Structure 1
Amino acid sequence: MVAITGTLVQSYGICKRQTWLMAHQIIPDQEHPYIEIGRLLDQETYSRDKKKINFENVVLDIIRSDEGDIVVGEVKKSSKAQESARLQLAFYLYKLKQSGVDAKGLLLFPEERKRIPVELTPDLENELESIFKGINAVVLRDTPPPPEKIGYCKNCGYREFCWS
């Protein structure tokens, strides 16, 4: 069984090869502009919220209280990969629920001034459990899946690894 993280859940929704590489500790280009922009967004946005809360194998970008509810926020540069970001946030809500904490989720895209609520439903829990099986199948392979040219490749920290 693989130690599944939110990052693996998110990458699985985009690129199975990226999921394998991450799970095998092959680190993307840390000087890639999009990775640096992500770090900057993390530092410069939502300064009034509690940030980078570590919980088991989860790192929550933001946590706040809203009218008695716990709200977990996931900050992203753009909504281009919104579905995979939604699944990542759902994973965090799932892990919190397993520990007895009911929380709501909020996807935050500060550059777009966009906020999308995410709620963990039974259907979403089933979808996550299916994704966990898929992640395990990919990660337990001896070699990564072959590269597939997709729209995300041009902005990926693994681009040179896959296409040079």
Structure 2
Amino acid sequence: MSNRLYSPGGDLHLVNGTLVWYYLICRREAWLMAHNLEPEQENESIEMGRFLHDTAYPKERKEILFGHMKVDVLRREGDKWVIGEVKKSSRFQQSATMQLLFYIRELRKAGIDAEGELQFPEEKRKVSVQLTPRAEEELENVIREIEKIIESKTPPSAEWCRYCQTCAYSDFCWA
């Protein structure tokens, strides 16, 4: 699977880690992001994410670009690379895990052996993430679902959930 597809407007899109993250929180967010509709940049959650990214784990290398990916943290441990994804809280641990699995899989495709680590600085904890055959199968299913959603001419219907209160896309759904 190449992860490449074309939107109804003909623009090339790549399924990426950010879309995996958004899809598992809200399918409508994934569609909006894939169609280049930016969230409100002054949103408190986005600003907090930027602050954490800039200040958490200062000794580790930050935001490494690799192809169409931006990995938050990268370090070497022996003969393996460890990539980290920094998140404000573990509230979205499932979506963060899948995002990190996506990055690990992409690195593996490029011949780079890597392990993952979710980092929750406010909770002072880290969670190891491994790309197992079962996790890779689940990730492939998520990617197929994302492709179906973003190929659609219109976004999925807005569905209220507890995360809508702080969502940077709320104006697209509830204005």
Normalising by the residue count of structure 2, what TM-score does the alignment of the two structures yield? 0.92
**Partner of residue 166, structure 2:** 155
Name the structure 2 match of 1:35. Answer: 46
The yes-or-no answer on 1:89 pairing with 2:100 is yes
2:125 maps to 1:106: no
Aligned residue for 2:39, secondary structure, equals coil
What is the distance in 2 between the residues matched to 1:96 and 1:152? 31
What is the RMSD of the two structures over their aligned residues, measured on CA atoms?
A: 0.8
Choose 76-85 or 59-68, whichever is displaced more: 59-68
Higher mean displacement: 72-81 or 147-156: 147-156
Identity of aligned residues (%): 44
Give the letter aligned to residue 164 of structure 2: C
Indicate yes or no: 2:133 matched with 1:122.
Answer: yes
Q: Which residue of 2 aligns with 1:61?
A: 72
User: Counterpart of 1:128 in structure 2: which amino acid?
Assistant: L
Cα distance, 1:84 vs structure 2 = 0.3
1:136-147 superposed matches below 5 A:
136-147=147-158
Q: Corresponding residue for 2:29?
A: 18
Amino acid corresponding to residue 85 of structure 1 in structure 2: A
Secondary structure of the residue aligned to 1:13 is helix
Cα shift at 1:151: 1.6
The 4+ residue runs of structure 1 with deviation greater than 2 A are none
Map Cα deviations across residues 69-105 of structure 1 (whole Å, 9 max, x no partner).
2100000001101000000000000000000111110
CA distance in 1, matches of 2:165, 2:16: 24
SS of the counterpart of 2:14? coil
User: 2:143 — aligned with what?
Assistant: 132
Q: How many residues matched?
A: 164
Q: Distance in 1 between matches of 2:34 and 2:64?
A: 21
Measure how far apart 1:67 and its partner are.
Answer: 3.1
Q: Secondary structure at the match of 1:51?
A: strand
From 86, 90, 93, the equivalent of 1:75 is 86
Q: After superposition, what is the alpha-carbon deviation per residue over 1:89-127, rounded to whole angstroms, capped at 9, x for unaligned?
A: 000000000001111100000001111000001111111
The runs of 5 or more residues in structure 1 that have no matched partner are none
1:133, 1:88 → 2: CA distance?
14
Structure 2 distance, partners of 1:82, 1:20, is 21
Residue 45 of structure 1: how far off its partner (Å): 1.0
- Structure 2 unaligned residues grouped into runs of 5+: 6-12
